Structures are given as C-alpha cells and as structure tokens.
C-alpha cells in the first residue's frame, strides 16, 4: 500500500472499517436474535407445561399430552419429547423417542415455588397443602398445586440439539425437550444471507467511498493542474483563490505567496546575470581589440611575448563566448530570447556543420552523414547554427582517436529529427539527468583545459530548441555511442 494513491487508500480503509462494523453488528444481531428465539421457545415450553401441573396426573394423561405436542409440532414427530417423574423420583412416563444419550439425571431440579401464581398464600402453605380433589373443578376451596420455578438448559442427544425445560410441582417433575432443528436451521439461513449480502454491501460502500473521495480530492486535482501549468516563464501567474473549498483557501494563499517570492528571486537572478553579462561584454571587447592590435604591432623577434599574448587573446575570446551564452540564457529565462524565424534549408545547414566538424577533427575522427535532402523549416538560422555547432563541438571534443561522429537528419511522424552521435567514453548513467544543467560538467574535479567549454553549451542548445517549439534530449544507445536527439515540429515553411 506504500505506493497506492490516497484515494485508493481512503476507499479501502472505508471498506475495511465498514466490513468490521458490519461483521460486529451482524454478530451482535445474530446473538440477540438467537436469544429472543430461545426466550420465545422457553415461554412456549413453560406455557405448555404449566397447564398440566395443577393436579397429579397418571400415565394416560401424559400420553395424551405428548400426542397433543406432536400435533403442535406438525410433521416432525420428534418436535417435543416428554419425561415425567413423581415426588419419589420414579419415572411415570417417558417418550418412546427419548434419546439414550440425553440423560435426565444430569438435569437440574426445578427452582422454588413460583409465588407469582398464588400471591395470597405463604410459601409453607403452598408446599404442604394437599393436591386438589379429583373430579372437582379448581377453586379457592379446591386450589391447584403450586408450581415450581422452571429451569431451562440446552443439551444434545440423538445427534440433535434440544431446549429442555424442567418444571414441576411438589408431587411431580415434568421435563419437556423441544427440538432446536428448526430454530438452528432458521439461524443458519440468516447467517448465510448475511455473508452473501456482505460482499454486495462492501462493494456499494467501496463504490460510494471512491466517488466521495474523488469529489473530496477534486480541489486537490484542480490545484495540482494549476501548479503543473506553471514554469519558470510563468511565475507571474497565480492560482485563482475562488472555486475551492474553505479548507483549501489557506493552501492556495500560501502557494501564491511562495510563487511571489520565487518570481522576485528569479527576476533578481535573471537581471543580475543579464546585467553582469552586458557589463562584461564591453571591457572584454576592448581587451580583445587591444590584444589584437598588440599582436599586429609586435616586432618579429619577440616570439615569447607574441605567444603569451596569443594565449591571453584566446582566454579573452573564451570569456567573451561565456558572456554571450550567459546573456542568451538570461534572455531565455525571461522568455525574451529573440527568434527570427525564416525558412531555412536544414539539410544544407547540417551538411555545413558536418564539414566544419571534419575540419575541426583534423582527420582524427571519421564524419558520417545521413542527411535527408530538402528539409526546410522556419527557424532562426543564427541560433540553429549555434545549436548544431555546440553539438558538433562536443561530439568531436569528447571522442576517441579513430572514433566516429554521425549526423542524421530525417522527417519522422510529423516532426523533423536530427541526431548527433559520437563514439567515446560516453556519459555516466548518473550524469544523464544533469548534462543540461548550467556549468555542470561530468568531470568531478571541474577542471578545464584550453579549448574546453564551461558547461553552458548544452544548456543553451536546449533553450534554443525549446524557443523553436522543439526539444533536445540525450537518448539511450547501444555500445559506446552517445546520442543527442534534436526534435522540431514539422511546421510548413
């Protein structure tokens, strides 16, 4: 669940919580229902037995009583069983179907006299008065026998469960066993219905939770979309505060405040870079001019001085190139990189850059061309030439002796694709995400020898590509090849 979405976690959590609550409530409801059914059955057994404890009856009466119970029980002849004992514990009657393993000796005796039946008599008179006279109706002068408090328990016999009621009077003990098969079957059906309905209930809860979570997280999705639409060139935009719930208003305010601080810092950094590059351009141009003039006026015999001035001139030119790149990057950051689009024959431009690369390589690297003819696009020719020149220079500089540089230009799926590939040591996998960072060079020591760049060429090349609506990226390749892919949208010239 670590990588799962918050919406999924919320849905699963709601479903799990609901499942737990439903199972708990179902278990409690089952228990309560079972107890209610048992109490109903106990009242029924008590009512059946109490009406036959007013007098002392013989075996014939109890046989007729059992037949009546069979009639009440319906088709199941084992619905009710009867066992009767006298005050001496002698068995008066037992149902023929009474299970052998249902031992009456294990049953508890009835409780004390039920005073609710005769509240006007004290317990001693209730227990020791004579049984009612046979053949005479019951009356105050011929009162019924007092009934003892019934005791109920559940037992098993004959492979079935029985609800057993033990009741009686001072002269007899009556045991009525009610078969629980029908009750347990009904409770089992109730349990099956619950477990069958539980998955459907959980499915409905999960679906409802998924929809509700989506509605609850909709402001987050809207806010995320608004944030994703912002970049370094759109820091002046703000997330609209309206349309969000009150809980998200503070988040929007904090994010807009952060954007304001970022915009101010970014503008300050951009102005500093542009101003510094602009201010450095003039003195470097003057210094370059002075060095060139000194070289022209130097006497032929001062070879050492001339060599030193040549080195200084090269360094000044290098600094001037860095300043120009910094100025262009600052303009790109501000969204003001001037792009003069004109129809340009890219096939011819790539061929010219490949020829320049062959001269720069000096025969140490083989140049291969796979250029599709007549590829024309509306681009800024100066910027496009600088982009291609940066890629070609890197391909020559970071190559091996006897290696190869391949220029490939083709139309592909509504785009114009240019790849510049070179053999050599390659770029470590850990540096792939950083090769387009400014001033970043794969050399950990950050050393620079004469003729090497300052780590701005690739960053500027990608900004030029994006200013034209395209992109520049490093693509995987087999073997020792390093491949940079430049992709432009195929807009008709």
Q: What average pLDDT values come out for the chain (493 residues) when binned by 10 residues? A: 73 90 93 93 91 89 90 71 92 92 90 64 55 79 86 92 92 92 90 91 90 81 73 66 69 78 66 55 61 63 58 59 59 65 89 89 87 88 86 88 90 87 81 73 48 67 84 84 87 50
User: Domain-by-domain residue ranges, the chain?
Assistant: 6-131+145-188, 246-333, 342-489
Nearest to 81 by CA among 177, 165, 211, 208: 177
pLDDT reported for residue 219: 74
Residues 238, 250: Cα–Cα separation, whole Å = 14
pLDDT reported for residue 447: 43
pLDDT reported for residue 60: 92
Residues 176, 80: Cα–Cα separation, whole Å = 7
Number of helices (H) and strands (E) in the chain: give both, helices first.
Answer: 9, 12
pTM of the model: 0.50
Cβ(447)–Cβ(379) below 8 Å:
no
Tell me which DSSP letter residue 232 carries.
G
pLDDT reported for residue 420: 92
pLDDT reported for residue 272: 55
Cα-based torsion angle of the residue sequence 140, 145, 149, 152 in order, rounded to the nearest 10 degrees? -130
Alpha-carbon distances, residue 406 vs 99, 265, 274, 345 (angstroms): 99, 42, 35, 19
Nearest to 85 by CA among 13, 177, 195, 171: 171
Q: Which helix (H) or strand (E) holds 365?
A: none
- Helix, strand or coil for residue 376? strand
Residues 6, 16: Cα–Cα separation, whole Å = 15
Class level of CATH domain 342-489:
alpha beta
Query: How are strands ordered across the β-sheet holding 91-94?
Result: 91-94, 80-86, 172-179, 160-169, 151-157
Q: Look-up: residue for tokens 């290098």?
A: 318
For 386-398, the three-class secondary structure string (H helix, E strand, C coil) is: HHHHHHHHHHHHC
Domain 246-333 has CATH 3.40.50.410: no
Q: Look-up: residue for tokens 């409905």?
A: 204
Per-residue exposure over 185-212, b if at least 16 CB sit within 10 Å of its own CB, e if not: eeeeeeeeebeeeeeeebeebbeebbee
């Amino acid at each position: 669940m670590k990588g799962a979405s918050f919406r999924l976690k919320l849905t699963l959590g709601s479903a799990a919580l609901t499942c737990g609550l439903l199972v708990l409530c179902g278990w409690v409801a089952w228990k309560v229902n079972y107890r209610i059914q048992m109490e109903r059955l106990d009242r029924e057994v008590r009512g059946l037995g109490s009406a036959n404890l007013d007098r002392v009856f013989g075996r014939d009466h109890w046989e007729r009583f059992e037949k009546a119970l069979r009639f009440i029980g319906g088709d199941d002849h084992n619905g009710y069983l009867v066992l009767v004992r006298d005050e001496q514990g002698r068995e008066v009657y037992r149902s023929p179907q009474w299970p052998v393993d249902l031992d009456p000796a294990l049953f508890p005796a009835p409780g004390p006299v039920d005073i609710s039946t005769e509240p006007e008599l004290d317990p001693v008179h209730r227990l020791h008065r004579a049984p009612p006279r046979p053949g005479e109706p019951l009356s105050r002068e011929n009162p019924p026998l007092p009934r003892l408090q019934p005791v109920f328990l559940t037992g098993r016999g004959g492979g079935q469960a029985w609800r057993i009621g033990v009741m009686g009077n001072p002269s007899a003990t009556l045991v009525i066993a009610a078969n629980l098969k029908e009750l347990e079957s009904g409770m089992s059906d109730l349990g099956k219905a619950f477990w069958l309905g539980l998955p459907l209930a959980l499915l409905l809860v999960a679906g409802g939770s998924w929809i509700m979570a989506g509605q609850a997280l909709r402001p987050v999705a809207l806010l995320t979309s608004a944030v994703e639409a912002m970049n370094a060139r759109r820091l002046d935009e703000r997330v609209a505060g309206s349309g969000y719930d009150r809980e998200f208003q503070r988040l929007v305010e904090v994010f807009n405040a952060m954007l304001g601080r970022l915009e101010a810092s970014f503008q300050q950094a951009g102005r500093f870079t542009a101003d510094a590059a602009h201010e450095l351009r003039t003195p470097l141009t003057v210094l370059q001019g002075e060095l060139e003039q000194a070289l022209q006026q130097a006497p032929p015999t001062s070879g050492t001085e001339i060599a030193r001035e040549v080195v200084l001139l090269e360094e000044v030119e290098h600094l001037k190139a860095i300043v120009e790149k910094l100025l262009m990057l600052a303009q790109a950051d501000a969204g003001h990189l001037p792009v003069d689009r004109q129809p340009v024959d890219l096939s011819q431009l790539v061929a010219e850059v490949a020829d320049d690369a062959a001269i720069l390589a000096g025969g140490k690297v083989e140049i291969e061309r796979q250029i599709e003819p007549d590829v024309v696009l509306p681009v800024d020719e100066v910027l496009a030439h600088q982009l291609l020149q940066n890629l070609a220079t890197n391909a020559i500089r970071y190559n091996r002796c006897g290696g190869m540089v391949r220029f490939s230009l083709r139309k592909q799926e509504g785009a114009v694709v240019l790849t510049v590939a070179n053999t050599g040591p390659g770029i470590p996998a850990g540096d792939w995400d950083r090769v387009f960072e400014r001033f970043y060079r794969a050399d950990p020591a950050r050393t620079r020898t004469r003729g090497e760049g300052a780590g701005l060429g690739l960053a500027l090349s990608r900004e030029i590509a994006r200013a034209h609506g395209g992109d520049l990226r490093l693509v995987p390749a087999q073997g020792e090849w390093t491949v940079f892919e430049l992709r432009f949208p195929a807009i008709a010239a």
